[in-house]
Chains A and B, each alone.
Chain A
Amino acid sequence: MKTFNRRQALVLSATAATGLLLASPTLGANRPKIVIIGGGFGGISAATVLKTIQPDFDITIVTETDTFSTCPFSNLVVAGLRSLKSITFSYENLAAQGMSIKVGKVTTIDAVKRVLSLADGSNLSFDRCIASPGIEMRFDQIPGYTEELQNLMPHAWKAGAQTLQLRDQLSSMQQGGTFIIYAPNTPYRCPVAPYERASLVAHYFTRHNPTAKILIVDEKDSFAKQALFTQAWELLYSGMITHVPFSETGGIIEVDAKNLEIMTPFENFKGDVVNFIPPQKAPKFLLQSGLGGNGLWCKIDEATFESKHAPNIHILGDAALVGDMPKSGFSASIQGGICAHAVASLMNGEPPKTAVLLNTCYSLVAPDYGISVAGAYRINDEGRLRSIKNTGGASSIDASDEVRKAEASYAYDWYNSLTHLMFG
């Protein structure tokens, strides 16, 4: 006979409780209590929108760190063009707006009792929970690549210490050395960011290490905006960047982290500096709480972001499967705002509303050369957030230098606008 594991038990009992919850709303006289997990793009955007539309709600943001460094523009830090401090924000303004900030690591969510546990032993109860905790690396996928050895080949895929480490490794790389970026298969955080990183590092090398080479060892055959990147690389960094597609290697089989080597069936690649971006998944605490089903990402109702596996838990951003939307900061922020409205509607017993959701991913190929890919999404009649037909797309391949320059300046303006909305 099949026995329950903890995950199934949590989901099953949460599911059984749903009917009860709907039958007897638990609002009472108290203010609705919303706990938001994540102090990044999705979490903070949900928090600020919810606070604006429902100033009476009791909102707590749980975040692992007391400041947030953005991955957007962290490639400028890697390339020595910006400081880490300039992409790091504090939560002071949010606290000043009346939201509670709890610094701590969530370890489990119990959807039945509507309470989450933190590593420091404390608990937080909620009426509804919004989770946007981003990604976790899969350290058990590629032989030779482990959590302990990750710093030998920093991923720098969460902005912070590894961003600086990679920057410093690149600036002390020997003249004429080889920098390898390993890019995983989709889905992963920010599909275009490995290629933006290669571009901005090439910008750095052109000035400080002109005979250096950049190899992108890719688990895919092609990537978004590829024609635009290739055109720009030819123009700005001719011969410096080589993209090695899956079809030429057969894919990774092993790494030797100590020797900075990547092994594939056809060829081994040895670098002087290796930026190894591993495959990713939703954070463990979500999966262990049963919110990923049998998968690695969280399935949700794409109109309300409520989990498909447990009621009253909304999941968005990189950790969730959100129709056709890419895992980007822009997407996470929009989803946070829409989710805030859905949570308000559901708490008020009103039907949730829908919207057209947009996303633009800008990439800086050089500080004054920008390209973008845009998408627009709406709920279809099957409840999925699908790309709207004949809408969106990449920058024109024939665009003038002025347009490339304008897109770069829009990228900076986008960043300033969004981080201002989030952190004040």
Chain B
Amino acid sequence: MIATFSQLFVFVFLILQMSPQISLAATAELSVLSCRICHAQSGTSSEIPSLAHKSTQEILNRLKTFLAIKTESTIMHRYMTGYSAVEREDLADYISKFGLVAK
């Protein structure tokens, strides 16, 4: 009996937890958190390429190159297929506007 009650409560809790609705499309302001982990310090003593002061188009072109050429980079080509074309554009746009700061 008690087990049934507790199951019911957990069920209600899970239902409540599902709302509000979460959108499944990745948003640039959150996705950029991953870029930051390696690129935050780049351009100083780091050999990881800097993303600072680049236009949306420059960044987007680079991302598209990673998508097309599989061997030229160490890491980035392994990641690029993970984003939709729109997500890549949003990300490039976000980084060119705001850099890698959390916002």
Binding site for B on A (CB under 8 A): 1-2, 4, 8, 11-12, 15-16, 18-19, 22, 48-49, 52-53, 301, 303-304, 306, 308-309, 311, 330, 333-334, 337-338, 341, 350-358, 360, 372, 374, 376, 378-381, 388, 390-393, 395-396, 403, 406-407, 409-410, 413-414, 416-418, 420-421
Contacts and interface: CB of A to CB of B under 8 A. Distances in A.
Contacts of B33: 49, 334, 337-338, 355
Given A11-B6, A416-B41, A416-B46, 4 more contacts: A49-B33, A356-B87, A417-B39, A418-B37
Given A351-B21, A352-B22, A358 B79 contact: yes
Nearest to A390: B81
Contacts of B6: 8, 11-12, 15
B37 A22 contact: no
- Counting contact residues on chain B (CB < 8 A from A), the size range is 35 or more
Contacts of B45: 416
B74 A372 contact: yes
Contact of B3 (A2, A372, A374): A2
B2 interface: yes
B53 interface: no
Contact of B101 (A52, A380, A418): A52
B82 A414 contact: no
Contacts of B2: 1-2, 4
Of B12, B13, B29, the most chain A CB neighbours within 10 A belong to: B13
B86 to A, nearest CB: 12
Contact of B23 (A4, A8, A12, A351): A351
Interface in B62-95: 71, 74-75, 78-83, 87
Contact of B40 (A1, A396, A421): A421
Contacts of A409: 47
B82 A353 contact: no
B29 to A, nearest CB: 8
The 9 closest A-B pairs by CB, nearest first: A355-B30, A376-B82, A358-B34, A337-B33, A417-B41, A391-B82, A351-B20, A413-B46, A15-B9
B52 to A, nearest CB: 13
Contacts, number: 160
B24 A354 contact: yes
Given A18-B16, A49-B102, A353 B9 contact: no
Contacts of B82: 356, 358, 376, 378, 388, 391-392
B83 A356 contact: yes
B17 A301 contact: yes
A369 to B, nearest CB: 13
Contact of A421 (B16, B17, B23, B37): B37
Given A15-B12, A18-B16, A392-B79, A356 B34 contact: yes
B10 A356 contact: no
Contacts of A311: 13, 16-17
20 contacts: A18-B13, A52-B102, A303-B22, A308-B17, A311-B16, A334-B34, A337-B36, A351-B21, A354-B26, A356-B82, A374-B75, A390-B81, A392-B82, A396-B71, A406-B47, A410-B38, A413-B38, A413-B42, A417-B48, A420-B41
Contacts of B61: none
Nearest to B20: A351
Contacts of A350: 20
Contacts of A19: 12, 16
A422 B79 CA distance: 24
A338 B30 contact: yes
B74 A410 contact: yes
A416 B48 CA distance: 11
A413 B81 contact: no
Contacts of B41: 413, 416-417, 420
Contact of A354 (B27, B34, B46, B71): B27
Contact of A391 (B9, B22, B78): B78
Given A392-B79, A414-B38, A52 B47 contact: no
A158 B43 CA distance: 32
Of A301, A306, A355, A381, the most chain B CB neighbours within 10 A belong to: A355
Contacts of B16: 18-19, 22, 311
A352 B17 CA distance: 12
A12 to B, nearest CB: 5
A356 B74 contact: no
